Chains A and B, each alone.
Chain A
Amino acid sequence: MNDPSKLDPPFLKEWMANYVCGVLGLDRAAFSTADRFDTYGLDSVEAVIMAGVMEEEFQVIVDPHRFFETPSIDEFTAAFTAPAA
């Protein structure tokens, strides 16, 4: 529990992309994980909700502030799964 470095980055990336596309009604095929959250409509309330769903799904603690610090799926995944310094 709560060791994000054990998560598989490509799997996490794919999960987040599917979640975001599902919630926001976006076309997964046309969606890029490099886009910033705010460009496709993940607003602050939805970001906090996603953090909660991720905690359930992956048994890790997700501080929603991290979505603002690393504001794309690619950036977030890289930072979140990096081994703790």
Chain B
Amino acid sequence: MYVELHSCSAFSFLEGASLPEDLVSEAARLELPAIALLDRDGVYGSPRFHMAAKKAGIRAHVGAEISVEGCGTQAGMPSWMPNKIPSRSVRLALLAKNRTGYQNLCRLMTRYKLREKEKGTGAATLEEVAERAKGLVCLTGGEEGILAASLAQGGSEKARRDIEKLLTIFGKRNVYVEVQRHFDPAEETRNQAAVCLAEGLHLPLLATNGVRYAPFPGPRDPRCVYLHSQPLPARNGGTATGAKR
């Protein structure tokens, strides 16, 4: 039985494309017993997600991807290649286990959101995450996550050190090494390294899809027109020529 534990909705602006209700209806169609919503730096979609899941009879998990400073930047284009793509902080994928976890997650995000000078630039420090780690489960993430960044910047050794930091913060039972597959060679290399690290550190592996959108509704659905006619502009002002999930 598969449960999707890493998906984001259109509330992750310029990254996710589907409304929470569409994600839930697709999960129901696939007969998934539960699904988790991890939007970027917020739990904006959770109420709609929860209500839709309740109606569909599946369990909705709450979480978020929170930006973290002090852990490097997201794996992207190497600096020697000519580009003007700004670097972004890595994000920790956190799932709330219980009410305490949800409270801690919300307080953590509120704290660094109050500090940010420009919209979308706030990031939590690892010390703040450690203060609010109770009741939270940490996933190592996909291409936006800490594992991908560590492997790109310092190889397996740095990745091991960073995961050990997470173990110190969240505890051994609350860290999962995440693997995703989108037919991308870089991701495949990362998955192989993740499997080795999980074996070495005796951590559980977790397969997710890093869902960004549900398949389109039927052709008669008016939202179909909307999705086609409103291409996602990529972050940084460009066009989202790379949507592929």
Real binding pair = no
Interface residues of A (CB under 8 A from B): none
